[in-house]
Each structure stands twice: as C-alpha cells, then as structure tokens.
Amino acid sequence: MDLATRYLGLPLSNPFVIASSGLTSSTEGIVRCAKAGAGAVILKSLFEEQVLSEADQLVASDGHFVHPEAADYLKRQGQEGAVEKALELIREAKAAVSIPVIASLHCTSAGAWLDFARRMEKAGADALELNVHVLTSDTRLTGEQMEKLHFDIATEVRRAVRIPVALKLGSQHSGLANLLSRLSRTGIQGMTLFNRSFSPDFDIEKLELTAGSRLSTAEEHGLTLRWISIASGLAGSDLAASTGVHDSKTAIKMLLAGATTVQLASALYLNGTGLLRVMLADLEAWMERHGFERLSDFRGKLRQAASSNPAAYERVQFLRLSEGTQPKSIG
C-alpha cells in the first residue's frame, strides 16, 4: 500500500499529522511523534497574545522605565523571549527529524505577527499554519469585519513569506461555505477545519467558573466530517481535518470526505503516540480489503459534490430522524 501524499506541496509518507499542541512543544516530543510514524508535525503555536503580554508584563514590572522609548525597548525584549524560543524549536526540530516541520502562529489581528512569520521561515519551517482566532463575542465587530480579518491575514502572510501557508479556522461563521471557497483562492495552500474552541464550564457547588475538557471526544468528529465533505468540492486548496479524530475508522472517513491530511491531538494524549502505528496499520488493511493501492484511489469518494443526495450533508434539523427515538421514562 502506498500511503504517501502531498500536503501544502510537501511530500508526506502518510496523511497523519500531529496537530499543534503540547505534543509538539519540545524537540523530544517531536522526535517521539516522528518515530511513531507521523507524516508531519505542526508545532505548538506562538501566540500573538503571549508575545504581546510577555512584553507588557516586562514593561509593567519595572516602574523606572516611564520613558516611552525605554518601554518600547522592553517590549522588544519581551517579544524576543517568546519568539526566540519558538524559533529555536523550529531549528532543533529541523535538525532532529526528517518529516516536514510546520510552524504555527495564533493570530488575532493582521499585521502584528508578519515579522514573526518571516523569522519562522528563516529558521527553517517547511510551512506555516495560521490559527486565526476572532472573538465572536466582540459586539463592535460585524460578521463582515470578522471575515475581512481572515482575508487580510491570508493575503498579507502570502506576501510576506515564500513557504506554503495554511489557515486554521473555527467553525463558528455564518456563510461558511462561501468563506471557505473565497479564502481558498487567496493563494493559501491549505485550510484546517476546525480549531476546537475552549469551552468554559461551571462548578454548581462552588458557584465557580471552571475549564471545560481540553481534549475532544470521538463524538465531536461530525461537524468536521460534514464540512470537509462540503468544502472538498468547493475549495481550491488542501484540506486538513481536525477535531474528534480518535481512531482509524474516523480518519478513513475524513479521507473519503476529501481531506488531504488528518490531524491528531486528543487521541494521542489519551492513548499515547503508539496509536499512530495502529492507525497506519488499520488504514493499510482497510485499503487492501477494498482494493485501493494509493490514497488518491478513494480520497473524496464520499464528498458532497460526488453524492447523488447532496442535501443529506446539509440537513441540520432532525426532521423524521426523531421518529423511533423514545425518551426513557424516569422512576
């Protein structure tokens, strides 16, 4: 079986990519992922806010520096801390593994991080994934402005670097199909669907805010599967499936939907990186059973555009599906 593929123009030995996370925040972690058989790694993001707030803390911690130029100098020092660490990780990872190393930037605005993108390219990153995070709770921002931010980021970074660029998006957008279709034509090479938002929770005894689970569950893959199926017919770029892929069956579904690569994070946190070997063996066995020799033999076979029943991919209401689903009686 030939599991090789190209993602963002880069040759990968297989379509399983380690998602940006703590799994890829150290050279040891990256080497572990490569040894386990990953096709590529996406490094832990350099957060725009992290960079800027470190700088702010430094300025705030030293009251002597009230002169704006001195504060400016300190801001640069703060940025250097976080950026230098991220650049060092890229250099070390490139020296330690032979699989593609994709750097990641968490962006909330256009412009501020362009310089970081250029420096990541110079440090040897094979590609960049931009995790675009827009606060939809900001009442000052209209949907149009939020979309524009994605276009600004995509076009500015394309101009700033020569390495391939992928945009990682959240799922909360109106007009998502239109957005994905237009974004994929800005010159970016890929889109990752979707980032998983942090969800808060409540402790109802302590009456406190708590953090929801950092890890996804297998049940969360449905939204990703639907949108990879829809987007693969309309996007002019590669698609990476992220969120809720916990086993080989779900990974195969994402490929059938048209994903170029499948990203994994939570499943590896829960089961260890050894799960990758199992998933690769399962994929090969499934391909053999179905007479597929390479990924292109079946990739996108079940995408919406190839379906005789495209409406089924978009049905969001339960309609007749609730028939036969009876509530359990209590007591």
Ligand X SMILES: Cc1cc2nc3c(=O)[nH]c(=O)nc-3n(C[C@H](O)[C@H](O)[C@H](O)COP(=O)(O)O)c2cc1C
How far, in Å, are 14, 18, 98, 241, 273 from residue 11 at the CA level? 9, 15, 11, 18, 21
Give min distance, CB of 126 to ligand X, in A: 17
- Structure tokens of 8? 């963002």
Give min distance, CB of 149 to ligand X, in A: 16
Q: Which of 232, 243, 248, 304 binds ligand X (CB under 6 A)?
A: 243
> What does the alpha-carbon distance between residue 104 and residue 192 come to, in Å, rounded to a whole number?
12
Q: Which of 32, 44, 173, 226 binds ligand X (CB under 6 A)?
A: 44
Q: Is 109 exposed, middle or buried, given 0-12, 13-18 or 19+ CB atoms closer than 10 A?
A: middle
Q: Which of 5, 14, 20, 250 binds ligand X (CB under 6 A)?
A: 20
Q: Which is nearer to ligand X, 104 or 304 (CB)?
A: 104
Q: Does residue 8 interact with ligand X by CB under 6 A?
A: no
Mask for 126-165, x = binds ligand X (CB under 6 A): -----x----------------------------------
Q: Does residue 214 interact with ligand X by CB under 6 A?
A: yes
Question: Stretches 95-103, 182-190, 200-208, 264-272: which one binds ligand X (CB under 6 A)?
Answer: 264-272
Q: Over the Cα atoms of the chain, what is R_g?
A: 21
Q: Which is nearer to ligand X, 84 or 288 (CB)?
A: 84
Q: Does residue 24 interact with ligand X by CB under 6 A?
A: no
H or E segment and range at residue 80: helix 68-96
Question: Stretches 91-99, 156-164, 214-222, 247-255: which one binds ligand X (CB under 6 A)?
Answer: 214-222
Nearest residue to 192 (alpha-carbon basis) of 239, 251, 133, 142 = 239
In sequence order, which residues have a C-beta less than 8 Å from that of residue 214 and are 6 or more positions away?
A: 198
Q: Does residue 242 interact with ligand X by CB under 6 A?
A: yes
> What does the alpha-carbon distance between residue 240 and residue 16 come to, in Å, rounded to a whole number?
10
Question: Stretches 93-101, 141-149, 236-244, 294-302: which one binds ligand X (CB under 6 A)?
Answer: 236-244
**Helix, strand, coil percentages for the chain (3-state, nearest 5):** 45, 15, 40
Give min distance, CB of 314 to ligand X, in A: 23
Question: Stretches 33-41, 146-154, 197-205, 243-251: which one binds ligand X (CB under 6 A)?
Answer: 243-251
Query: Quick check: 2 and 288 in contact, CB under 8 A?
Result: no
Phi, psi of 197 (to 5 degrees): -75, 150
Query: Quick check: 265 and 212 in contact, CB under 8 A?
Result: no
Q: Does residue 196 interact with ligand X by CB under 6 A?
A: yes
CA-CA-CA-CA torsion sign (10, 15, 19, 23): negative
In sequence order, which residues have a C-beta less than 8 Å from that of residue 206 and are 6 or more positions away?
A: none
Q: Does residue 93 interact with ligand X by CB under 6 A?
A: no
Give min distance, CB of 167 to ligand X, in A: 11
Total residues found in the chain within this entry: 331
Give min distance, CB of 290 to ligand X, in A: 25
Give min distance, CB of 220 to ligand X, in A: 6
Q: Which of 97, 101, 103, 265 binds ligand X (CB under 6 A)?
A: 265
Q: Does residue 260 interact with ligand X by CB under 6 A?
A: no
Q: Which of 215, 302, 305, 306 binds ligand X (CB under 6 A)?
A: 215
State the residues that interact with ligand X by CB under 6 A.
Answer: 19-22, 44-45, 104, 106, 131, 168, 195-196, 214-216, 242-245, 264-267
